[in-house]
Amino acid sequence: MSDYLPRPEHKFTFGLWTVGNVGRDPFGPPVRPAISPVEIVHLLAEVGAYGVNYHDDDLIPIGTPAAEQDRIIRDFKQALSDTGVKMPMATANLFSHPIFRDGAFTSNNPKVRAYALQKTLRCIDIGVDMGAKVYVMWGGREGTETDASKSPADSVKRLREGINFVTDYIRSQGYDLKVALEAKPNEPRSDIYLPTTGAMLGFIATLDHPEMVGVNPEVAHEHMAGLNFAHAVAQAWDAGKLFHIDLNDQLFGRYDQDFRFGSVMLKQNFFLVKFLEDVGYSGSRHFDAHAYRTEDYDGVRDFARGCMKTYLILKEKAARWNADAEIKALLAEVNANDGEFDYLSNGFTPEKAERLKAVEFDRDGIAAKGLAYERLDQLTVEVLLGVR
Ligand code: GLT
Ligand code: MN
Ligand code: MN
């Protein structure tokens, strides 16, 4: 049994905006005093996180004079080196300032698109300087309330043009930096373009440098769309595109709640953690979540520790599930193979097709046997509930 304590090899990270969230919502003002980025780094070190992720505006408010910017960066780097906390990911805020009210890369206004690009390049320069290896692009306002305002096809073209510019910039600077696109179906826009991880994966294939671009799937965002998050993650992994992941939790069909990881849908999160651990995902496990509005900063610490501890408990449950003799026997049974059709793997030949077409299948015999998935799922629940 593990101590469930976070260690650097677990790669647990939090954005500045997560533990630094002050509890503002559309119906009420902040409930916690803001703490500085340096204080956030110390809080994360105290709870045992590996890293902190950087949003340009969270660290350097828009319009900060150059000298002040240098001081902020110096102090932040000092906090990183004092605590050993790493900064593996950078991301630009292209959604808060009113200039982005109709999108950034997809705005109809070329000045807004140019500003979004400038802000991205500057964020990348600072992020790389502080150690970032991944740049996340979440197009929070890349969408519409009314499709009278712009053509969705033009918007996808504009997004492509913007991302191609960014990847060429990264190459021209010789940066060791990958780009991870984060999908969300809606909120704050009525509809956001490329609303799911699957849509992002299709889009990436159309870019100039698809090898530099992957995805950053978020639990809450796929759950808003009623989708199975682990399936989206598996497809991204299969495509070699799982560059980053945003872990949090919530039920299907709600607004973006960003709850503590594992606080709502335990079984789904169990299969997610099992997948990540089984395949050996080695990137950041980023908790893009925040504490309930009911909490003070002790509650924020409880929240952060809870995200990491639940991940580690689910990781241990996954190992237990994999080692369970009865589960293994059931899986072996449903995957039994007498070798009769092994010739179908390793590609097509006309001879294989002819041989296959001549087979008489015992449809009723094959269909008659139960698959014991009820038993398998019950055993899964028993592992999760701690009675196996
Ligand atoms: C914002 C959003 C997240 C994104 C962040 C990166 S910012 O908090 O809700 O899903 O990952 O831009
Ligand atoms: Mn979210
Ligand atoms: Mn996110």
| Annotation says 223 is catalytic | no
pLDDT at residue 1 above 80?
A: no
Q: Is 341 among the domain residues?
A: yes
Residues 254 and 360 in one domain: no
Residues 244 and 345 in one domain: no
Q: Is 3 among the domain residues?
A: no
Rounded to whole angstroms, the Cα distance separating 1 from 262 reads 19
Q: Is 286 among the domain residues?
A: yes
Which pLDDT does position 38 carry in this prediction? 98
Query: Per-residue confidence at 363, pLDDT binned at 50, 70, 90?
Result: very high
3-class SS of residue 103: coil
Residue 161's CATH number: 3.20.20.150
Residues 364 and 275 in one domain: no
| Annotation says 290 is catalytic | no
Which pLDDT does position 68 carry in this prediction? 97
Which pLDDT does position 258 carry in this prediction? 98
- Classify burial at 295, counting beta carbons within 10 Å of its beta carbon; exposed 0-12, middle 13-18, buried 19 or more: middle
Which pLDDT does position 330 carry in this prediction? 98
Residues 45 and 73 in one domain: yes
Q: Is 2 among the domain residues?
A: no
Which pLDDT does position 2 carry in this prediction? 80
Percent of the chain with pLDDT over 90: 99
Residue 138 Cβ contacting ligand 1 at under 6 Å: yes
Q: Is 1 among the domain residues?
A: no
- Summarised one tens digit per residue, pLDDT across range 325-357 is 999 999 999 999 999 999 999 999 999 999 999
* Mean per-residue pLDDT, 72-91: 98
Rounded to whole angstroms, the Cα distance separating 89 from 236 reads 19
Domain count of the chain? 2
Q: How far is the CA of 247 from the centre of ligand 2 (A)?
A: 9
pLDDT at residue 13 above 90?
A: yes
The domain boundary, picked from 265, 294, 319, lies at 319
The domain boundary, picked from 278, 298, 319, lies at 319
Which residues have CB under 8 Å from 253's CB, separation 6+? 223, 224, 226
Q: Which atom of ligand 1 is nearest to the CA of 137?
A: 12
Catalytic residue among 57, 58, 246, 258: 58
Q: Is 36 among the domain residues?
A: yes
The domain boundary, picked from 262, 297, 319, lies at 319
Residue 28 main-chain phi, psi, to 5 deg? -160, 160
Catalytic residue among 3, 25, 42, 55: 55
Contact 279, 241 (CB under 8 A): no
Residue 58 Cβ contacting ligand 1 at under 6 Å: no
pLDDT at residue 219 above 70?
A: yes
Residues 226 and 336 in one domain: no
Q: How far is the CA of 354 from the centre of ligand 2 (A)?
A: 52
Which pLDDT does position 349 carry in this prediction? 98
Percent of the chain with pLDDT over 70: 100
Residues 235 and 155 in one domain: yes
Residues 72 and 174 in one domain: yes
Q: Is 132 among the domain residues?
A: yes
Residues 334 and 232 in one domain: no
Distances (CA, A) of 236 to 197, 216, 226, 335, 350: 8, 9, 18, 24, 33
Q: Is 365 among the domain residues?
A: yes
Residues 172 and 224 in one domain: yes
Residues 314 and 336 in one domain: no
Which pLDDT does position 252 carry in this prediction? 97
Which pLDDT does position 230 carry in this prediction? 98
Residues 96 and 243 in one domain: yes
The residue range of the domain holding 175 is 8-319
- Summarised one tens digit per residue, pLDDT across range 292-305 is 999 999 999 999 99
Residues 336 and 202 in one domain: no
